[in-house]
Amino acid sequence: MQKNALEAPAPWWKYGYVWLVVAGPAIVVVAAIFTLYLAVTRPEQLVSEDYYRQGIEINKTLGAAQAASLAPALQARNHAQTGVVPSGQTSSRP
């Protein structure tokens, strides 16, 4: 019975809870070093000086494409409301 009292305790690295406590901060340090590496090796893309003009041009092209895609729907809606056939089309009524 006295044998257990005289036995030396196990070293700290043999306890699983120690690794559980140490693993969290160790992972954070590794992630921070990796993030620093990415920040240093890949410079940030700068915004062009004429970003506003480029945005206006993009909006114009998108607006024109959207208006062209809605044209048949607008013509059909107007025809259904007024009964007037748009120019260039024939009436399919008997």
Q: Which pLDDT does position 85 carry in this prediction? A: 63
What is the count of structural domains for the chain? 1
- Long-range CB pairs of 42-47 (<8 Å, 24+ gap) are none
Query: Is residue 17 a part of any domain in this protein?
Result: yes
Residue 34 lies in a domain: yes
- Expressed as residue numbers, the domain containing 29 is 13-43
Distance CA 28, CA 34 (A): 10
The confidence score (pLDDT) of residue 90 equals 59
Domain-located, residue 67? no
Q: Is 22 part of any domain?
A: yes
Residue 85 dihedral angles phi and psi, to the nearest 5°? -80, 130
3-state helix, strand and coil shares in percent for the chain, rounded to the nearest 5:
70, 0, 30
Q: Is 52 part of any domain? A: no
Asked whether residue 53 is domain-assigned, the answer is: no
Mean pLDDT by 10 residues, the chain (94 residues): 72 89 96 95 82 86 70 63 62 54
Q: Does residue 79 fall inside a structural domain?
A: no
pLDDT of residue 17: 92
Please state the pTM of the whole predicted model. 0.43
